[in-house]
Each structure stands twice: as C-alpha cells, then as structure tokens.
Amino acid sequence: MDRLEQFLDRAERLLERIEPLLPPVQTAPDWDATTAFRWQRRAERGYLEPIAVTPRIELAHLHGIERQKTTLLRNTRQHLAGLPANNALLWGARGTGKSSLIQALHRAFAAQGLRLIEMEPEHLTDLPRLLPLLAQRPERFIVYCDDLSFDASDHSYRALKAVLDGSLNGCADNVLLYATSNRRHLVPEQMADNDQARISGGELHHGDGVEERISLSERFGVRLSFHPFAQERYLEIVRSWIEHLGGSDGDSEAARQAALAYALDRGSRSGRVAWQFARDWVGRQGLPAAEHV
C-alpha cells in the first residue's frame, strides 16, 4: 500500500470516529425556505438540504424539443392537479436539453406548489426513507435524478425496480420520479447479450438477463428520446440564444460559420453547444476590437 492509500485509509477511519460527535442532521427541512432540495447522506443517515439558487431556465428558452416539452409539460400538469401521472425517463444524446427541461418545469410551476428534490443515482435506494417525509406534505414533488445509469455488474437497479413498482407509485401519491440518462435502458448493452437471443415466429426474443434489465426502463410510463440536432436546427437555436443574450447579429454569415466551426471542434450539435457558443460570441462581440484574440 503506497503512502496515498495509507493516508486515505487513515482519513476514512478518522471520519468514522468523528461522525458520532457531529450534531444530528435535520431530516425534515424548512419547507418554506426554498422550492428545491437535494438529498444528502452522512454516513448512514439521509437528509434534505435546501438549494438556495436554482438555474434560471425558462421553457421558452428550450428549442428543438417541442414534442418532448409538450409531453412532459402535460404529465407535470396532471401531477400538479392531483390526477394520475407517470414517472418519466428522458434519454438520449448529451447536451440536448434533458436536464434543462426538468429544471425549466420546476421554475414554471414552483409557485403552484411543485417542489424539486435532486437525488444522486447511488442514493435512489434511499427512496423508502424519503417518501414518508413527502407523503404528508400538501406540495407535489418531483424527485429528479440526473445521469442515471448502471454498470453491467451493478445489480442495484433491481432495488430501484422494486421502488418504482411499489413505494413511489403507491405510498406517496404526491411524488413522481423524473430521470435523465444517456442510455435508453439505463444499462450498457453488450455484444454478448445477443448470444441469449432467439428467433420465434419471425420475432426476436431477448434472453432473460437482457429482459430483466430492459424491464427497468419500462417502469417509466413516460419515455422521451432526445437526439442530436440537424445543422439548421442547431443554427436556429444559436440565433435564439444570441438574441436572448442581447446580440443582434445571430443571422449573420460570420455567426453562422463560427457556430458550425464551434460545433465541429466539439464533435456535437446540441443545445448545450449552441448555448456555449452564443455566450462566447456575444461576449466577444462586446469587447473592444483591440482586445479580440
């Protein structure tokens, strides 16, 4: 064991000794302090931490995902009205607006009683601890899990399946789970999975192991796909962000060519790349000409 490993081992043992001496955490937060919270875990104890500052993303700012926006907006309205609604999985390419859409929905409906609780993927097994705290509240909650995925050897997805089928939809009627992922079925798909597949009546049937993993994504009644944007859609989003940031030359050929070069350099045409380019472009245009690099 090298010196770094020895140091980390001693530090971990020291934290374990200090933990009982720390003041107890408050599991139930001040519900009036904010409209967004983050589930934290200290040792084996979980608690809700208020999030003072949330992203200022408006639904009107999100372009190129109208179908996804309409579907999730309707599902969220049903939830707020106390009507039946579904857990949602937003999957697809990075930077295409999955997380931004959930954050924008929270901002749009916070005044109507919608509360957002951010939860790390590895903490989802704490849902049975969290739900009793929420079940008696008058607000409507969305538990938001960003970048949810499981390794092929990680069997904790089975615990999440049980929660989605049981507690989340049963005991806490005022709670939904909205998750984002880069993977359609939340778990990696291997070439070896095809070895278990069989053909019956002209139809492909996966092996039991694959079927079990796929069944996790099927627990989400709303499944929305997000794909990279075509060039013209990407440029349309660039123009929109430039206008939003106070620029006036988003339609210029110079902005168009620079935006395409920016996307090529990053290997992606996405809403995130469009936003980043627009910030860079408007910022550079605001500098005196002598300060341009």
Pair (189, 237) in one structural domain: no
Q: Residue 23 gets which letter from DSSP?
A: P
Pair (198, 265) in one structural domain: no
Q: Give the rounded distance of the alpha carbon of 114 from its chain centre.
A: 17
- Owner of token pair 């060519």: 257
Pair (86, 215) in one structural domain: yes
Pair (243, 265) in one structural domain: yes
How many Cα atoms within 13 Å fall on the side-chain side of residue 285? 18
Domain range for 53: 48-226
pLDDT tens for each residue of the chain, 293 residues long: 566 666 667 766 665 665 554 444 455 678 888 999 999 987 667 889 999 877 788 999 898 899 999 999 999 999 999 999 999 999 988 888 999 999 999 999 999 999 999 999 888 888 888 888 898 899 999 999 998 877 666 666 666 777 776 656 556 789 999 999 887 766 665 545 555 555 555 554 454 455 655 667 778 889 999 988 899 999 999 999 999 999 988 889 999 999 999 999 998 898 999 999 999 999 988 887 655 55
Number of H helices, E strands in the chain: 10, 9
| pLDDT recorded at residue 173 | 87
Pair (133, 164) in one structural domain: yes
- Total number of domains in the chain: 2
d(CA 233, CA 237): 6
Q: Output phi, psi for 148, to 5 deg.
A: -80, 125
Kindly report the pTM of this predicted structure: 0.77
Pair (167, 272) in one structural domain: no
CATH number of the domain bearing residue 178: 3.40.50.300
Pair (59, 135) in one structural domain: yes
- Residue 133: inside a domain, yes or no? yes
- Residue 25: inside a domain, yes or no? no
Pair (65, 168) in one structural domain: yes
Domain boundary among 193, 226, 259: 226
Q: Is 238 exposed, middle or buried (0-12, 13-18, 19+ CB in 10 A)?
A: buried
Pair (166, 256) in one structural domain: no
| Amino acid letter for position 50 | P
- Residue 195: inside a domain, yes or no? yes
Q: Would you state the structure tokens that stand for residue 180, as one six-digit string?
A: 């984002």
| pLDDT recorded at residue 286 | 83
Q: Is 246 exposed, middle or buried (0-12, 13-18, 19+ CB in 10 A)?
A: exposed
- Residue 31: inside a domain, yes or no? no
Domain boundary among 211, 226, 241: 226
- Residue 28: inside a domain, yes or no? no
Pair (86, 221) in one structural domain: yes
Domain boundary among 173, 193, 226: 226
